[in-house]
Amino acid sequence: MAEHRLHPENWVDHYADYLFNYAVARVSDAEIAKDLVQETFFAGLNSAKNYKGDAAERTWLIAILKRKVIDHYRKINSKKGKAEVRVSYSSDSDSEGDWLEEQVADPFSQDGDNVLENEELGFAIQECISKLPRKQAQVFQMKTIQGMSTEDICNELDINPSNLWVMIHRARTALMGCLNDNWF
C-alpha cells in the first residue's frame, strides 16, 4: 500500500491562488478570502494526520475551504444560529459555484448531528439527481461530485465547454428546485 502524504511546504505555491479565487468568488471580499485561505492551510496542517489519500491534495484542501466559507456565513448570519446555511441561488448567475457541496455538513466534524444531516441530505441529493435527464446527471456528477476537470469531461463525453456549462447550470437549477421541495 502506497503511503499517502501531504506536502504542506508546497501549498502556498501550488494552491494559494486557486483557493483564493475559489473563496473570493463565494464571499466577494478579498481580505476575508485571504483569511479563509490562511485558516484552510492552518486547519489542513492540524488535520493532516487524518489525510488518507482518498482525494488529491487540492481536493482535500478545497473541502476544508468549503467548510470555512460556510462557517463564515454562519457567523455573519447569527440569527440562524447553527441552522444549515442556505447559499442563495440565482438563476441569473452561476457565480455561486459549488453551492450543492456547501450544503453538506462538515466531513471532518466530530458533531454527531452532522452525520445524520449528511446522510439525509445525501439521500435527497441522490433522489434529485436521479430525476435529471441522464446526460445532465452524468455531467453534474462528473464535475461537481467527482471533481473532474472541464477538459477531461469534455474529452470523455465529446462535448464543448459551453455545452458542459449549460448542462451544469440546468442541472443546478433543477436540483435546487427539487431540494427546495424535498429537503429545505
Q: Tens digits of per-residue pLDDT, 5-58?
A: 888 898 999 899 989 988 888 888 889 999 999 999 998 888 888 888 777 888
Q: Tens digits of per-residue pLDDT, 153-172?
A: 899 899 998 898 899 889 88
Q: Tens digits of per-residue pLDDT, 72-130?
A: 877 776 544 333 334 434 344 444 444 444 444 444 444 444 544 556 667 777 888 88
> Domains (ranges, CATH) in the chain?
1-83 (1.10.1740.10), 92-184 (1.10.10.10)
* DSSP symbol at 98: S
Closest CA to 62 of 9, 122, 107, 3: 107
CA distances from 71 to 56, 66, 86, 165 (A): 23, 9, 12, 28
Residue 142 confidence (pLDDT) above 60: yes
Task: Say how many Å lie between the first and final Cα of the chain, rounded.
Answer: 42
Query: pTM for this structure?
Result: 0.44
Grid cell 508546497 is found at: 10
Grid cell 456549462 is found at: 165
